């Protein structure tokens, strides 16, 4: 069993981020630790507790935080994503975790999934405080994902929409707020596939999540290329968990990034699509991650 409590910490610009801290039962010794966060426009309540609880039961202190502008964390405009700001905020989460009396600061790992799986690659390559990186169904190339998900016929109008939004923001107008998910083809949305809709709209505590995201978040996502950092993570150990039929972050892009990564590395293929690590393949995904953390953080 483990204890979960609500926590908060400050970013470099003084913003308050909030999340959960899971502490394993123990005799007061310092534990190895894992820092976790979620993907594009998601919050910690979107299926992260089963992973964090498994890690804590295995003897790790686990920090799970909401990105700025989302969930319990502060920040304006709400529902707005800048990937590089999220990466920098995550460094603050790691710094906060280092200060905890329960934590052995020399044994900290990182776990990210989807968009934050891309962040984990960046952080693993640039922050040597991290001794182990687990990147689950990660974003590899915003350009390639966007190219595949928006048809050539629709691309000019979509790009014009984004430019019009940028000009409107420069004039001080409110950001355009499409849906995160929608099955209605007439509604502007980031994701439309049934598994995406089911994942994001699962039952959550009231007020935990809003089905909106700024349009400029998609503009920023299309320029984000975290996969280029994969070969720079070494000598930090890397585990990539890849779904065999990932139509969101694209299985082939993930496998190509894994091939570029240097040793030590390990690949875990799990059956299903992008969201199956949180559902049908949950046990496989969290067992693989737990084994990786035990191997590289417990000594």
For the chain, domains (ranges, CATH) are 2-148+223-297 (3.40.50.1820)
Among residues 127, 117, 143, 116, the alpha carbon closest in space to that of 258 is found at 117
pTM over 0.85: yes
- pLDDT confidence bin for 28, thresholds 50/70/90: low
Q: Yes or no: say if 257 and 227 are a contact pair by the CB < 8 Å rule.
A: yes
Q: What's residue 98's pLDDT?
A: 97
| pLDDT tens-digit map of 245-289 | 999 999 999 999 999 999 999 999 999 999 999 999 999 999 999
| pLDDT (0 to 100) of residue 3 | 87
Condensed to tens digits (0 to 9), the pLDDT of residues 177-194 reads 999 999 998 899 999 999
pLDDT value at position 9?
98
Q: What is the pLDDT of residues 46-78, one digit of tens each?
A: 999 999 999 999 999 999 999 999 999 999 999
At residue 132 the predicted structure's pLDDT band, cuts being 50, 70 and 90, is: very high
∠ Cα 58 61 62 (to 5°) = 100
pLDDT of residue 29 exceeding 90, the answer is: no
């Amino acid at each position: 069993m483990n204890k979960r409590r609500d926590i908060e910490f400050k970013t470099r610009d003084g913003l308050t981020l909030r999340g959960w801290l899971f502490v394993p039962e123990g005799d007061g010794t310092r534990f190895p630790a894992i820092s976790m966060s979620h993907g594009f426009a998601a919050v910690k309540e979107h299926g992260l507790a089963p992973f964090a609880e498994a890690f804590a039961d295995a003897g790790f202190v686990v920090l799970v935080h909401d990105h700025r502008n989302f969930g319990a964390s502060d920040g304006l405009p709400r529902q707005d994503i800048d990937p590089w700001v999220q990466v920098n905020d995550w460094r603050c989460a790691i710094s906060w975790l280092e200060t905890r009396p329960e934590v052995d600061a020399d044994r900290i790992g990182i776990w990210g999934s989807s968009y934050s799986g891309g962040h984990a690659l960046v952080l693993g390559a640039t922050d040597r405080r991290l001794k182990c990186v687990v990147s689950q169904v990660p974003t590899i190339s915003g350009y390639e994902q966007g190219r595949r998900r928006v048809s050539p016929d629709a691309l000019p109008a979509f790009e014009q929409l984004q430019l019009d939004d940028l000009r409107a923001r420069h004039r001080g107008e409110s950001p355009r707020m499409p849906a995160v998910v929608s099955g209605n083809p007439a509604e502007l949305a980031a994701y439309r596939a049934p598994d995406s809709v089911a994942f994001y709209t699962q039952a959550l505590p009231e007020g935990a999540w809003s089905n909106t995201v700024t349009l400029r978040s998609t503009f920023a996502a299309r320029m984000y290329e975290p996969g280029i950092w994969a070969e720079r993570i070494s000598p930090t150990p890397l585990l990539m968990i890849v779904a065999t039929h990932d139509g969101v972050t694209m299985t082939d892009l993930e496998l190509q990034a894994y091939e570029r990564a240097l040793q030590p590395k390990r690949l875990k293929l799990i059956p299903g699509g992008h969201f199956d690590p949180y559902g049908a393949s949950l046990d496989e995904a969290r067992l693989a991650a737990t084994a990786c953390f035990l191997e590289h953080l417990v000594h």
